[in-house]
Chain A
Amino acid sequence: MVVFEMVNEKGTLTKKRLAISFALQISANTLIAILLTSIGGHFEINFIFSQYIGILTFAILHLLMNLFQATTPTQKIIISAVSVALGAASGAYLSIWTLRQFGFNQFDLIFETLYRPILVGLVIGGLFMYYYYSKEKILDIERRIQVETMHRLAGEKHLLETELKLIQAQIEPHFLFNTLATVSGLLERDAVAARKMLENLIVYLRTSLARTRTGELTLSEEIELLRAYLSIMRMRMGERLTYELDIPPALLAIPFPPLLIQPLVENAIHHGLEPKINGGHLRVSASVLNQMLTVNVEDNGLGIKADWSPGVGLENVRARLKLLYGESARLEFVDKPQGGVTVQMQIPQPESPRTP
């Protein structure tokens, strides 16, 4: 029953280890036989029974563990129990067979003493199983703690990196300078339009540059930002851009972290519509179903080209969703067969949403 000592510290089976284990096994079996004899019965008979049952149980256990690749404690317990039962039964059968070969026919005696080695075997086997299970569990807990720590540290590092990237990536210089160039050009020709554009740019900059935000933001603030951004892009791109914001008014009060939709919209324009000769249409919609807020950003632009890869802005959205909501938020990019991309973002809502 010294099965469990078979595996050394490093988890490898060496020939030396195997020999030591085997010796230990034999010794343990012999000890059991002595123990049994002290209770009663013949030493020879107890010896034969103990050895057969011990060795067979060990062999069967090892075989089954390898065969079924048991990993969970329950699987291991079941396999151990089955092994002990099979080991005891086959061991007892072989013992009787062996004793017969030696002309030993006092079966009364055998049957009288038969239950003892089996019982002791089961008890000792059970103890070892318990010991093994506890040890395994402690090891497992320690590993879990280490894995958790690793994840936590990685998460913290990631958060810092994301925040850093957020500062760097939020305002695209190309956007800023082209917009300023447009404002500058408009000033002389159409001061009203220039002023409107400048106001929209201020809304855009104020939201994008806000680093320390206090209080909870709502979806309506993000929509304001979208309106400002899209209004600028519409003026710049002219006929090439049309858009619609389909947000039910009831959803505007939903708490919503800033700058999660805007990068999706910016991406749709930058990669889908701006590079398309005839431009296209952009639609942003939102809905809540089963405590899940779904935001869709759809365009009929160029679609996901082979060499296209979402930029830092989208990476940020993804990373922040993960930090804020873990696995329960989703961000999906789907290239529609009829052209264009749909980006779908799903964010879990608290149990009692503020919406009616």
Chain B
Amino acid sequence: MNIIIADDEPLLRLHLKEKLVLLWPQATLIAEASDGVQATKAITDLCPDVAFLDIRMPGLDGLEVARITAGRCHIVFVTAYEQHAVQAFEQHAVDYLLKPYSDARLEQTIARLKAINSPPAENAAIHAVIAQLSHLQPSIAAPLRWLRVASGQETRLVNVEDVVYFEADEKYTSVYTTTAEYLIRTPLKELETQLNAETFWRVHRSVIVNAAFIESATRTLDGRYHVGLRGRSNILTVSRAYAALFKQM
């Protein structure tokens, strides 16, 4: 039985290696990898029987490695991920090891691997597991929290809560904070859908204002409202269509 181990942490790799030597003398460690790219190469080049893959690795993560090399070898994920991610595995044939693992648990894995007769089929099960796990990775479409803005050569992150207001500026959107002004490529319309409507108010066709910065709202003689903002000296005009936002104030 030829095996490879992939983990970016040298001590954890060493630990698994020592344990395998001890608990599974028949197995031969043919390669070690410290990142996903190395792991993929080792699996493709050396065709091991089993690959122990850490999930979080630089380059490619363990799930990606498994996806790319699907069908080439049996895969045991070695992960510190939480229970729900692990449950997904439990329903399928592929084993997992939850870090930190006991000797007894590793022995179970070894026993399971020894018992496998079928070749590592590129079965739907593993794809389902991978899909499920990938889905559990943080990919929830949360409301926009940080804006990536260009500032000279650099890219900055600006938290939306620090934005006083957004103003549509032809193809771009101007972002005003209390101290600076930036241009972003996202059109105002698209931004509006990503922002929390409770704090970001559309007050004009081309302006979205952060309500937290509204200092005063003054009604003019013709029924429009003018909004004064904390940290910015200019006054924003509320168009009639959006005046209702301020009427109850």
A7 x B221 contact (CB < 8 A): yes
Residues of chain A at interface, number, CB under 8 A:
60
User: Shortest CB–CB separation between residue A113 and chain B, in angstroms?
Assistant: 32
CB of B178 within 8 Å of the partner chain: yes
Q: Name the B residues within 8 Å of A38 (CB-CB).
A: none
Give A333 to B131 CA distance when docked, in angstroms: 33
CB of B82 within 8 Å of the partner chain: yes
Number of A-B contacts (CB under 8 A): 149
- CB closest chain-B residue, reference A139: B219
User: Shortest CB–CB separation between residue A343 and chain B, in angstroms?
Assistant: 9
A 7-40 to B, binary, CB cutoff 8 A, 1 in contact else 0: 1001111000000000000000000000000000
Determine which of A136, A151, A184, A238 lies in contact with B10 in the assembled complex, contact meaning CB atoms within 8 Å. Answer: A238
A143 x B156 contact (CB < 8 A): no
A181 x B101 contact (CB < 8 A): yes
Knowing A7-B221, A70-B220 are in contact, say whether A144-B99 is a contact too (CB < 8 A). Answer: no
Interface SS of chain A: helix, strand, loop or mixed? helix
Q: Name the B residues within 8 Å of A248 (CB-CB).
A: none
Q: Name the B residues within 8 Å of A227 (CB-CB).
A: none
- CB closest chain-B residue, reference A61: B221
B80 x A177 contact (CB < 8 A): yes
A 143-161 to B, binary, CB cutoff 8 A, 1 in contact else 0: 1101100110010000000
Q: For chain A, residues 109 to 137, give those with C-beta under 8 angstroms from any C-beta of chain B.
A: 136
Q: Name the A residues within 8 Å of B211 (CB-CB).
A: 150
A335 x B156 contact (CB < 8 A): yes
- CB closest chain-B residue, reference A311: B138
Give A65 to B37 CA distance when docked, in angstroms: 68
CB of B71 within 8 Å of the partner chain: no
- CB closest chain-A residue, reference B217: A143
Q: Name the A residues within 8 Å of B145 (CB-CB).
A: 309-310, 315
CB of B171 within 8 Å of the partner chain: no
Chain B's interface size range is 35 or more
User: Shortest CB–CB separation between residue A170 and chain B, in angstroms?
Assistant: 16
Q: Name the A residues within 8 Å of B222 (CB-CB).
A: 7, 13, 65-66
Knowing A69-B226, A71-B228 are in contact, say whether A185-B12 is a contact too (CB < 8 A). Answer: yes
Determine which of A147, A154, A178, A334 lies in contact with B12 in the assembled complex, contact meaning CB atoms within 8 Å. Answer: A178
Knowing A71-B235, A173-B80, A304-B157 are in contact, say whether A186-B11 is a contact too (CB < 8 A). Answer: yes
Q: Name the B residues within 8 Å of A238 (CB-CB).
A: 9-11
Give the contact stretch, choosing among B44-52, B116-124, B147-155, B201-209: B147-155
CB of A6 within 8 Å of the partner chain: yes
Give A234 to B225 CA distance when docked, in angstroms: 58
Q: Name the B residues within 8 Å of A188 (CB-CB).
A: 18
Knowing A181-B12, A335-B154, A336-B154 are in contact, say whether A146-B249 is a contact too (CB < 8 A). Answer: yes
Knowing A177-B99, A185-B15 are in contact, say whether A147-B156 is a contact too (CB < 8 A). Answer: no
Question: B residues engaging A (CB < 8 A)?
Answer: 8-12, 14-15, 18, 34-35, 37, 56, 58-59, 80-82, 98-101, 145-146, 148, 151, 153-157, 159, 161, 178, 199, 211-212, 214-226, 228, 230-231, 235, 237, 243, 247, 249
Known: A140-B218, A237-B9. 11 other contacts (CB 8 A): A69-B237, A144-B215, A173-B80, A182-B9, A185-B15, A236-B11, A277-B34, A303-B155, A304-B157, A310-B146, A327-B178
Question: A residues engaging B (CB < 8 A)?
Answer: 6-7, 10-13, 62, 65-66, 69-71, 136, 139-140, 143-144, 146-147, 150-151, 154, 173-174, 177-178, 180-186, 188-189, 235-238, 240, 274-277, 303-304, 306, 309-310, 315, 318, 322, 327, 331-337
